[in-house]
């Protein structure tokens, strides 16, 4: 490729990196959901970004207040432990435990915290099963106001 052709291509493409300051990683505490961290950590290191680890509990229904507090405390503790075990020391992290439908709760947090990137795992369902059950990851990808990196569970 000639130098003039290269410069004409670069002239049309913005060459600066996007600013990624906040990366959200939703976790359901399965080993599979942690795979998203393998991709989020290097990106966070590259951009000196903060990783937001998030877990969503079911909407408080008929469970009593004490049980809700216990579940929330246990989830925050697990997020803290995962942060210490799986994140390098220089990667800053925040933790949040939300209540409600996972996709809706995560998207609300994304909007309120000005999240720049979501990194999540997908189960890879297809066809009738996905149509009947729906996919949290698919809903997040469809409605997120920021880029979403999808990591297929292996």
- Is 123 part of a structural domain of the chain? yes
Residues 41-51 pLDDT 10s:
999 999 999 99
Identify the sign of the CA torsion 84, 47, 52, 92: positive
How many structural domains are present in the chain? 1
- Is 3 part of a structural domain of the chain? no
By the 8 A CB rule, do 119 and 25 touch? yes
- Is 126 part of a structural domain of the chain? yes
CATH code: domain of residue 27: 3.40.50.620
- Is 36 part of a structural domain of the chain? yes
- Is 59 part of a structural domain of the chain? yes
Please state, in angstroms and rounded to a whole number, the distance separating the CA atoms of residues 82 and 76.
10
Structure-model confidence comparison of residues 76 and 132, the more confident one: 76
The pLDDT of residue 132: 43
Q: What percent of the chain has pLDDT over 90?
A: 57
Please state, in angstroms and rounded to a whole number, the distance separating the CA atoms of residues 102 and 104.
6
- Is 4 part of a structural domain of the chain? no
The pLDDT of residue 136: 86
In the numeric block, which tokens belong to residue 99? 């209540």
pLDDT over threshold 50, residue 133: no
The pLDDT of residue 46: 92
Chain-wide mean pLDDT for the chain? 84
The pLDDT of residue 99: 93
- Is 12 part of a structural domain of the chain? no
Domain range holding 52?
Answer: 17-152
Residues 68-115 pLDDT 10s:
899 999 999 999 999 999 999 899 999 999 999 999 999 999 999 999
Per-residue CA distances from 53 to 29, 36, 60 (Å): 11, 11, 21
- Model pTM score: 0.81
Would you place residue 59 in the very low, low, confident or very high pLDDT band (cuts 50, 70, 90)?
confident
- Is 106 part of a structural domain of the chain? yes
Helical (H) or strand (E) element with 151: strand 148-152
């Amino acid at each position: 490729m000639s130098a003039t052709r290269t410069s004409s291509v670069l002239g049309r493409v913005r060459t600066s990196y996007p600013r990624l300051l906040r990366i959200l990683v939703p976790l359901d505490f399965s080993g599979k959901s942690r795979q998203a961290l393998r991709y989020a950590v290097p990106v966070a290191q590259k951009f000196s970004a903060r990783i937001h680890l998030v877990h969503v509990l079911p909407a408080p229904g008929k469970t009593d207040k004490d049980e809700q507090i216990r579940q929330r405390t246990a989830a925050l503790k697990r997020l803290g432990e995962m942060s210490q075990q799986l994140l390098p020391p220089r990667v800053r992290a925040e933790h949040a435990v939300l209540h409600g439908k996972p996709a809706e709760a995560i998207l609300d947090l994304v909007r309120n915290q000005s999240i720049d990137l979501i990194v999540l795992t997908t189960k890879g369902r297809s066809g009738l099963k996905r149509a009947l059950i729906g996919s949290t990851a698919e809903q997040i990808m469809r409605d997120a106001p920021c880029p979403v990196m999808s990591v297929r569970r292996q």
